[in-house]
Amino acid sequence: MSLIKSISGIRGTIGGKTGDNLTPIDTVKFAAAYGTWLKNNSEDKKLKVVVGRDARISGKMVQDLTMNTLTGLGIDVIDIDLSTTPTVEIAVPLENADGGIILTASHNPKQWNALKLLNSKGEFLDGAEGAKILEYAEQDNFNFSEVDDLGSITRKDNYMDLHIEEVLKLKLVHAEKIKKAGFKVVVDGVNSSGGIVIPNLLKKMGVEVVELYCEPNGHFPHNPEPLKEHLSDICELVKKENAHFGIVVDPDVDRLAFIDENGEMFGEEYTLVACADYVLSKTPGNTVSNLSSSRALSDVTKKHGGEYKASAVGEVNVVKLMKDSNAVIGGEGNGGIIYPESHYGRDSLVGVGLFLTHLAEKNISVSELRKEYTAYFMSKNKIQLTPEIDVDSILKAMEEKYKNEKVSTVDGVKIDFPENWVHLRKSNTEPIIRIYTEAKSQEKANELAEDMIKEIKKIIA
């Protein structure tokens, strides 16, 4: 099964059988379910939805199917075409639209695509809203508009430029300081829309740009998840070009990673840490990330006198807790920066603006900046289980065993020890337990993970 339906949208591989993959019929069904949900929650007014896509090979086909389904329901569409996830999020309120759809499978390989769904604020739907749309899709009972009531499609090609302008307007993004720093930067846009928008943003801030894989043709030159094992080309090019650093984004530009001047990873977890350090130094306050993110954010927050809180995994959960705790910045440890002064969504453009201003003000190298933060190391593992094993009872047993430690059950079981932590979560789609650990050395993180795996296997036995 390569079709995954969840409260955050629908994703799957292109081609194959209906119901097993993201076929044209599945695309139409899910777009119709979303449109029906919007209509059922409106007050009989003419609805408007923003639709954009990343540069995937299937993007244009999936976009046309989605847009024409919406117009068939009598909904007007603002077509911003080749775009990014945060660009669509910004476009929804700017267009005074009722919702938005981003066609992207994020960091998944090129054969995948997805429909990600937004509300009228340009934010991801919550669990109840997503569940209702899944219910509509299952019922397959749609009422399309008659010929005189069909929606229209209006094309607007300038939204990535508008997005850049919105970033440059932010009080904590100082283009002049960045220009004076004289940065030379290599950008890996993984042949998607980030290959256009990130270089354009940098050039607007006076940065010299060396482009690598910035042709938005959807043929990803490497695995598009911005992890160390996939980024040898940019690491080598940063050194060869004698660049100050490198920037890597995923296909829909909501994850951001940096490479230092020596061709070494800054660390995706530390993208948020560095941006938060800068924001908190100017506007003290609280921060939020998810339970599987590095403790380094908590350290930086405390340094600036703020309070750190951890949410369940998932962007919508991070955003909710950010609002509840009035956080000035937050995000996820996968390089996702959420800065409410801009909008409540992970945004690599905002991250670039904040990070480069921070670096320009400190007037140090990226490797020197990295040394300013406590070094933590993570280990990510999983245990394969048979379907008849009760995962909840295993997690309950682990919670009970470590009840004298600081334990959170917001999302699985997270145990905070004085020097390290472990986060145990069950998968929603397969019989596995995910085991994330963090410690002050890779050896310690791996050792903690191995110990936890042994303990869980004892419980199962």
Query: Edge-to-edge, what's the strand order for the sheet holding 406-408?
Result: 377-384, 432-439, 421-426, 413-416, 406-408
The residues near 439 (Cβ < 8 Å, ≥ 6 apart) are 376, 377, 419, 420, 445, 447, 448
Structure tokens at 280: 């908190």
Cβ burial, residue 337 (10 Å; 0-12/13-18/19+): buried
C-alpha separations of 247 from 59, 242, 273, 281, 397 in Å: 24, 14, 16, 23, 43
The residues near 88 (Cβ < 8 Å, ≥ 6 apart) are 50, 51, 52, 80, 100, 101, 102, 118, 122, 159
Is beta strand 432-439 parallel, antiparallel or unpaired with respect to 377-384? Answer: antiparallel
Q: What's the rounded Cα separation, in Å, for the pair 417 and 407?
A: 9
Structure tokens at 353: 């603006």
Give the model's pLDDT for residue 390: 86
Give the model's pLDDT for residue 429: 61
Which domains does the chain carry? 3-156 (3.40.120.10), 162-372 (3.40.120.10), 377-460 (3.30.310.50)
Closest CA to 207 of 188, 241, 180: 180
Residue ranges in 205-347 assigned as alpha helix (H): 232-240, 268-282, 296-303, 315-324
Tell me phi and psi for residue 290, to 5 degrees: -85, 170
Q: What's the rounded Cα separation, in Å, for the pair 416 and 422?
A: 7
C-alpha separations of 209 from 44, 205, 250 in Å: 49, 11, 18
Give the model's pLDDT for residue 150: 98
Q: What is the CA radius of gyration of the chain?
A: 22
Closest CA to 369 of 297, 238, 273: 273
Cβ burial, residue 305 (10 Å; 0-12/13-18/19+): exposed
Q: What's the rounded Cα separation, in Å, for the pair 424 and 413?
A: 5
Cβ burial, residue 169 (10 Å; 0-12/13-18/19+): exposed
293 is an active site residue: no
Q: What's the rounded Cα separation, in Å, for the pair 238 and 305?
A: 36
Length in residues, the chain: 461
Closest CA to 59 of 122, 9, 115, 134: 115
Q: What's the rounded Cα separation, in Å, for the pair 24 and 58?
A: 11
| Other Cβ atoms within 10 Å of 37 Cβ, number | 21
- SS3 category, 433: strand
| Other Cβ atoms within 10 Å of 387 Cβ, number | 7
Tell me phi and psi for residue 78, to 5 degrees: -100, 110
| Other Cβ atoms within 10 Å of 120 Cβ, number | 18
Catalytic residue among 8, 106, 120, 193: 106
Q: What's the rounded Cα separation, in Å, for the pair 349 and 294?
A: 22
- SS3 category, 402: coil
Q: Which secondary structure element, helix H or strand E, spans residue 211, and what is its range?
A: strand 208-212
- Show pLDDT as tens, one digit a residue, over the chain (461 residues): 478 887 778 999 999 999 999 999 999 999 999 999 999 998 878 999 999 999 999 999 999 999 999 999 999 999 999 999 999 999 999 999 999 999 999 989 999 999 999 999 999 999 899 999 999 999 988 999 999 999 999 999 999 999 999 999 999 999 999 999 999 999 999 999 999 999 999 999 999 999 999 999 999 999 999 889 999 999 999 999 999 999 999 999 999 999 999 999 999 999 999 999 999 999 999 999 999 999 999 999 999 999 999 999 989 999 999 999 999 999 998 899 999 999 999 999 999 999 999 999 999 999 999 999 999 999 999 998 887 788 889 999 999 999 999 999 999 999 999 999 999 998 766 678 999 999 999 999 999 999 999 999 999 87
Cβ burial, residue 461 (10 Å; 0-12/13-18/19+): exposed
